[in-house]
Structure 1
Amino acid sequence: MFRYGQNDSNGERFWVTKVFSLQSIQPEAAHYNSTAYLKVQYSSSDSSSDLTLNKRKVILAITLPTTSILILLIIVAILYPQRRRKYKENDEDSEFNQLLSGMPTRFSFEKLRECTEGFSKKLGGGGFGSVFERKLDGERVAVKHLEGARQGKKEFLAEVETIGSIEHINLIKLIGFCAEKSHRLLVYEYMSRGSLDRWIYNRRSNTRFDWSTRCKIILHIAKGLCYLHEGCRREIAHLDIKPQKILLDGNFNAKVADFGLSKLIDRDQSKVMTMMRGTPGYLAPEWLTSQITEKVDVYSFGVVILEIISGRKCIDRSRPEEDVHIIYLLREKAQNNQWIDLIVDNNSDDSVSRQEEVIQMMKLAMWCLQNDSSHRPSMSMVIKVLEGAISVESHIIQSFLNANSIMSVQDNQYLYLVREASILSGPW
Structure 2
Amino acid sequence: MVRTNSSLHLLSLHLLLLVTANEATTFTIINRCSFTVWPAAVPVGGGMELDPGKEWTLDMPTGTTAGRLWGRTGCSFHGKGGQSCQTGDCGGVLACTDNGQPPISLAEFTIGQGQTDDFFDISLVNGFNVPMDFLPVPTQGGPLCIKGPRCEANITTRCPTELQAPGGCNNACIANGTSNCEPTTYSGFFQQMCPDAYNSYNGFTCPTGTNYQVIFCPPLNLTVSPAPASSPPAPMGQASRRSSILRSHVAVLAPVGGFLFLTILFVITFFTCKQRTQQQRDMEEEEEFQELQGTPVRFTFQQLKVATRQFTDKLGEGGFGSVFKGQMGDERIAVKRLDRAGQGKMQFLAEVQTISSIHHINLVRLIGFCAEKSHRLLVYEYMPKRSLDRWIYRRHDNNDSPLDWSTRCKIITHIAKGLSYLHEECTKRIAHLDVKPQNILLDDNFNAKLSDFGLCKLIDRDTSQVVTRMRGTPGYLAPEWLTSQITEKADVYSFGVVVMEVISGRKNIDTSRSEESIHLITLLEEKVKYDNLVDLIDKNSNDMQAHEQDVIQMMKLAMWCLQIDCKRRPKMSEVVKVLEGTMNAESNIDHNFVATNQATFGTAGNVTSSVPSSVPPVASDVSGPR
TM range (shorter): 0.7 to 0.9
- Structure 2: runs of 5+ lacking an equivalent: 1-247, 599-616
Q: Is residue 322 of structure 1 aligned with residue 516 of structure 2?
A: yes
- Structure 1: runs of 5+ lacking an equivalent: 1-54, 411-418
Q: Distance in 1 between matches of 2:338 and 2:378?
A: 8
Counterpart in the other structure of 1:8: none
- Contact 2:293-2:357 at 8 Å conserved across structures: no
Match of 1:126 among 318, 324, 330: 318
Match of 2:370 among 178, 181, 205: 178
Give the residue type in structure 1 aligned to 2:350: A
Pair 70,176 (structure 1): closer, same or farther in 2 beyond 3 Å: same
CA drift at 1:70: 5.4
Match of 2:434 among 219, 237, 240: 240
Question: 1:135-146 counterparts in 2 under 5 A?
Answer: 135-146=327-338
Question: What TM-score, normalized by structure 1, do the two folds share?
Answer: 0.78
CA drift at 1:84: 3.6
Q: Distance in 2 between matches of 1:359 and 1:212?
A: 14
Q: Is residue 224 of structure 1 aligned with residue 436 of structure 2?
A: no
- Contact 2:314-2:324 at 8 Å conserved across structures: yes
- Contact 1:172-1:256 at 8 Å conserved across structures: yes
CA-to-partner distance for each residue in 1:193-248, whole Å, 9 max, x for gaps?
00000000017633211100000000000000000000100000001101001000
Question: 1:369-388 counterparts in 2 under 5 A?
Answer: 369-388=562-581
SS for the counterpart of 1:93 is: helix
Counterpart in the other structure of 1:159: 351
Counterpart in the other structure of 1:426: 624
- Give the helix-richer structure, 1 or 2: 1
Counterpart in the other structure of 2:604: none
CA drift at 1:359: 1.1
Question: 1:406-417 counterparts in 2 under 5 A?
Answer: 407=595
CA drift at 1:61: 8.6
Give the residue type in structure 1 aligned to 2:623: S
- Contact 1:151-1:260 at 8 Å conserved across structures: no
In the TM superposition, structure 1's runs of 4+ consecutive aligned residues that sit over 6 Å from their partners are: 55-67
**What root-mean-square deviation, in Å, do the aligned CA atoms of Structure 1 and Structure 2 show?**
2.7
- Contact 1:108-1:180 at 8 Å conserved across structures: yes
- Contact 2:404-2:541 at 8 Å conserved across structures: no
- Contact 2:403-2:541 at 8 Å conserved across structures: no
SS for the counterpart of 1:148 is: coil
- Contact 1:115-1:136 at 8 Å conserved across structures: yes
Q: Distance in 1 between matches of 2:298 and 2:519?
A: 43
- Contact 1:245-1:427 at 8 Å conserved across structures: no
Q: Distance in 1 between matches of 2:481 and 2:264?
A: 56
Match of 2:393 among 201, 204, 207: 201
Question: 1:75-154 counterparts in 2 under 5 A?
Answer: 75-98=268-291, 100-149=292-341, 151-154=343-346
Pair 114,59 (structure 1): closer, same or farther in 2 beyond 3 Å: same
Q: Distance in 1 between matches of 2:364 and 2:565?
A: 30
Pair 84,211 (structure 1): closer, same or farther in 2 beyond 3 Å: same
Q: Distance in 1 between matches of 2:410 and 2:455?
A: 26
- Contact 2:415-2:449 at 8 Å conserved across structures: yes
Give the residue type in structure 1 aligned to 2:491: D
- Contact 1:220-1:253 at 8 Å conserved across structures: yes
Q: Distance in 1 between matches of 2:468 and 2:393?
A: 31
CA drift at 1:320: 1.6
Q: Is residue 281 of structure 1 aligned with residue 479 of structure 2?
A: no
The aligned length equals 360
CA drift at 1:409: 6.3
- Contact 2:335-2:378 at 8 Å conserved across structures: yes
Higher relative CO (CA 8 A, sep ≥ 6), structure 1 or 2? 1
SS for the counterpart of 2:410 is: helix
- Contact 1:222-1:382 at 8 Å conserved across structures: yes
Counterpart in the other structure of 1:191: 383
- Contact 1:119-1:132 at 8 Å conserved across structures: yes
Q: Distance in 1 between matches of 2:499 and 2:264?
A: 68
Question: What TM-score, normalized by structure 2, do the two folds share?
Answer: 0.54
Give the residue type in structure 1 aligned to 2:531: N
CA drift at 1:333: 2.1
Stretch deviating more after TM superposition (310-319 or 85-94): 85-94
Pair 150,201 (structure 1): closer, same or farther in 2 beyond 3 Å: farther
Question: 1:308-319 counterparts in 2 under 5 A?
Answer: 308-319=502-513
CA drift at 1:258: 0.2
Give the residue type in structure 2 aligned to 1:330: L
Q: Is residue 291 of structure 1 aligned with residue 489 of structure 2?
A: no
Give the residue type in structure 1 aligned to 2:284: D
Pair 65,134 (structure 1): closer, same or farther in 2 beyond 3 Å: same
Give the residue type in structure 2 aligned to 1:426: G
- Contact 1:132-1:142 at 8 Å conserved across structures: yes
Pair 347,139 (structure 1): closer, same or farther in 2 beyond 3 Å: closer
Q: Distance in 2 between matches of 1:176 and 1:311?
A: 34
Pair 65,169 (structure 1): closer, same or farther in 2 beyond 3 Å: same
Counterpart in the other structure of 1:307: 501
Match of 1:344 among 519, 534, 538: 538
SS for the counterpart of 1:187 is: strand
Pair 362,57 (structure 1): closer, same or farther in 2 beyond 3 Å: closer
Q: Distance in 2 between matches of 1:227 and 1:156?
A: 22
SS for the counterpart of 1:394 is: coil
- Contact 2:508-2:520 at 8 Å conserved across structures: yes
Stretch deviating more after TM superposition (291-300 or 56-65): 56-65
Give the residue type in structure 2 aligned to 1:94: E
Give the residue type in structure 1 aligned to 2:337: H
CA drift at 1:422: 3.3
- Contact 1:144-1:187 at 8 Å conserved across structures: yes
CA-to-partner distance for each residue in 1:264-283, whole Å, 9 max, x for gaps?
00001111001111111111
- Contact 1:282-1:299 at 8 Å conserved across structures: yes
- Contact 2:537-2:545 at 8 Å conserved across structures: no
Q: Distance in 2 between matches of 1:136 and 1:347?
A: 38
SS for the counterpart of 1:251 is: coil
Give the residue type in structure 2 aligned to 1:222: A
